[in-house]
Structure 1
Amino acid sequence: MNKIKKWIIVSLLISLISGLIVVLFTFDSDTLSALMELKTEYLIAAAIIHSLTYVIWGMRTHSLCKALGYDIGYMRSIEIVTSGTLAASITPSSLGGEPLRIHLLYGEKMPLGKATAVVLGERVLDGILILALAPISIYIIRGVLNDPVFDAMFLFAEAGLIFILFLILYALWRPDPTKKVVYFFVRRVAPLLGKKTDAALEKVIDRVDSELEHFHDSISVLMNEGRKGLSYGIFHTLAFWFVDFSMLYVILVGLNQHPDPIIVFAAQVILMILIVIPATPGASGIAEFAGTTVFSLFVASSVLGIAVIAWRAFTFYMNLLVGGFVSFKILKDADFIKNT
């Protein structure tokens, strides 16, 4: 519990300080006028839209679990994914949400390998979609900037993203080479963690091999007899990101900004790639500054800071609040909390 509180405080402090810096540097004589003309009904709509993403995410988890033969209820699935947003908001690259969701699915009598397949399968679906959209988004943003230097940078970035996408697809298609790479890293990292004896290392390798087999077997099930569930998962992934990206446009309309929706969507695809890399808790600080840079392409400078703060209010602070409430409601007696 103390560690969780510490990381929540650290995440909040970094985000609040970064947000204050963004507002101070973008504040001008028109900012107060923009605040006076703010349409609060659009902010309420944005909150509802973000809440809808929890429901869609829960539906995706339900579909993938059912495809593997485990009927996790819709409400329980929504609780599981919502509780994961707290851990994701206070861990680097949002990676803390995955172990928690796996733990909760495992608590629903789902084998660890299959629970891992569902949770990592969701991340793979998200990653494939974002990486597939990235080259298109970069092309759209290039048209807005119209700068030869940025053109060269974006072309290089496009090539890199396409390469990463092919690596992910190859890893899913050919699991054996994936195992070899994982074994290589396990053998290098295990001694650093104190696993220095051959016997202990062999146990680590056996555990990795077992879980990878479960994972790849589950992916195989999803792509064969679980195709219907996987198709629902793909549909929910598309719906999730469309709804989530729509929220920013609604916020901007509430600030009397009317940019091209396609540019708004394209910018967020690029932003998602930027904020998943940083090692700060919940991408705090990086998200505010990266958001300011990207949103400046289509948002007036006088309301840029307000737009960034409003966007983070829903994608970060709301996740902390809702995720925290659900987490402490369903995990108050769980070993996950007691041992933290």
Structure 2
Amino acid sequence: MEGNDKGGVKRLAVAGAITALSIIAVMKLGNVSLEEFRYAKTEYIAAAFLLHVLFWLFWTVRLEVISSILGYSLPFREVFLGVLASNFVAAITPSSAGGEPVRAKVLVDCGMGVGEATASIMVERFLDAIFFSFFLLVMLSLSGFAVGLGLKIGVVFTVLIALLIVFLFELFKYPERVERFLKFIEKRVRREFFVRIEREIWMFRDSIRTFLRDKSKAMTLLALTALIWISEFLVPSFVLLAFTCDPHWILSLTSQAILVIASLVPLTPGASGIAEFGFFYLYSQFVECSVGAIVGVWRSITYVSNILAGIVANLYYFRRLVLK
């Protein structure tokens, strides 16, 4: 446990250092002075932060809807704190990969089975993949911006979705293949461990089937997914307005989609460095004012706030664990 705590602190320190140095470097490249921040309009910065809060809230509501499909009614506060805690872990792990296990653990703590929780997180990722593939292609057609890079990313996401659909089809159409796989591993693991694996695999399969049957809530989940990401993608435009710059709504939305997908590359904790320099490069193509200042405020709202709110959420869980 102590080793895990030290590892977490180390990753947080590395992520924070990379982010801080990247912001400073970008501000130096953009010849940003502190005077520019004095004249920023606080009402637009407040609106940008509110959009990020909506990002948290919409994510929580989506998890609530997903859990309701499986017949669970989870406490909103617990799920919301789980989203904040998962964002903290995502901020200090490469490609934000640490967030999913945290949300799954929160769902299990609220009464879900491991297979059901895993299926819920998989549905989240599937919804995000559908949204990004569709959204990026639409925005690129509207803006004509970064067509080469954007189309490559869109094609990759489309291929991944196709592979996922094929995998799910095989899983549901030919369950006997799953049984053969289970028999293969039965002789290679302990009996109690195998029983647990078998139970969770079938629970996972049943949970996915439940999601696929409930078409009435499919549009609700897609709408919530769009609200999650569009609220987050609008943050830079409001930061631009705070510095009396053109918000470039379409180009900014397109750039944000490209940045999020590029940030999935597992190079640095929380995509530190990749996000800052990627933002600087993309926005320098169309923003007339100082991009360096925009990067600093944007990253503070969307990244630093995730860390701070996540620390509060994790302290809540730690306190509850101690009291137990």
What's the TM-score, normalizing by structure 2? 0.86
Q: SS in structure 2 opposite 1:326? A: helix
- Which residue number corresponds to residue 171 of structure 1? 167
- Which residue number corresponds to residue 101 of structure 2? 99
- Which residue number corresponds to residue 209 of structure 2? 220
Shift of 1:96: 0.7
Shift of 1:221: 0.4
212, 233, 238: which one aligns with 1:245: 233
297, 302, 305: which one aligns with 1:315: 302
* Equivalent residue letter for 1:236: L
- Which residue number corresponds to residue 126 of structure 1? 128
Shift of 1:74: 2.0
Contact 2:145 2:254 in 1 (8 A): no
Distance 1:176 1:69 in 2: 21
Higher mean alpha-carbon deviation, 131-140 vs 247-256, is at: 131-140
Shift of 1:280: 1.1
- Which residue number corresponds to residue 19 of structure 1? 23
- Which residue number corresponds to residue 76 of structure 2? 74
Distance 1:201 1:115 in 2: 24
In structure 2, the CA distance between the partners of 1:172 and 1:49, relative to structure 1 (3 Å rule), is: same
283, 307, 311: which one aligns with 1:295: 283
Q: How does 1:92-241 map to 2 (within 5 A)?
A: 92-140=94-142, 143-144=144-145, 155-175=151-171, 199-200=188-189, 210-224=199-213, 226-241=214-229
In structure 2, the CA distance between the partners of 1:174 and 1:293, relative to structure 1 (3 Å rule), is: farther
In structure 2, the CA distance between the partners of 1:274 and 1:205, relative to structure 1 (3 Å rule), is: farther
243, 260, 263: which one aligns with 1:255: 243
* Equivalent residue letter for 1:330: Y
In structure 2, the CA distance between the partners of 1:308 and 1:175, relative to structure 1 (3 Å rule), is: farther
Shift of 1:86: 0.8
Contact 1:41 1:254 in 2 (8 A): yes
- Specify every segment of 5 or more residues in structure 1 that has no aligned partner in the other structure, as ranges: 146-150, 191-196, 336-340
Q: Could you give the per-residue CA deviations for residues 134-169 of structure 1, whole angstroms, max 9, x where no partner exists?
A: 33334445x346xxxxx5555544433332232233
- Which residue number corresponds to residue 58 of structure 2? 56
Q: Could you give the per-residue CA deviations for residues 153-206 of structure 1, whole angstroms, max 9, x where no partner exists?
A: 55544433332232233333333699989x99xx9xx9xxxxxx9623998887
- Which residue number corresponds to residue 316 of structure 2? 329
Contact 1:88 1:95 in 2 (8 A): yes
CA RMSD in angstroms, aligned pairs only: 3.0
In structure 2, the CA distance between the partners of 1:205 and 1:24, relative to structure 1 (3 Å rule), is: farther
Q: Could you give the per-residue CA deviations for residues 283-328 of structure 1, whole angstroms, max 9, x where no partner exists?
A: 111111111112222223x511111111111111000000110121
Q: SS in structure 2 opposite 1:119? A: helix
* Equivalent residue letter for 2:298: W
* Equivalent residue letter for 2:52: H
Paired residues in the alignment total 314
In structure 2, the CA distance between the partners of 1:37 and 1:228, relative to structure 1 (3 Å rule), is: same
Distance 1:120 1:172 in 2: 11
In structure 2, the CA distance between the partners of 1:320 and 1:157, relative to structure 1 (3 Å rule), is: closer
Shift of 1:93: 0.9
Shift of 1:90: 0.7
In structure 2, the CA distance between the partners of 1:90 and 1:251, relative to structure 1 (3 Å rule), is: same
- Specify every segment of 5 or more residues in structure 2 that has no aligned partner in the other structure, as ranges: none
Q: SS in structure 2 opposite 1:298? A: coil
Distance 2:75 2:217 in 1: 14
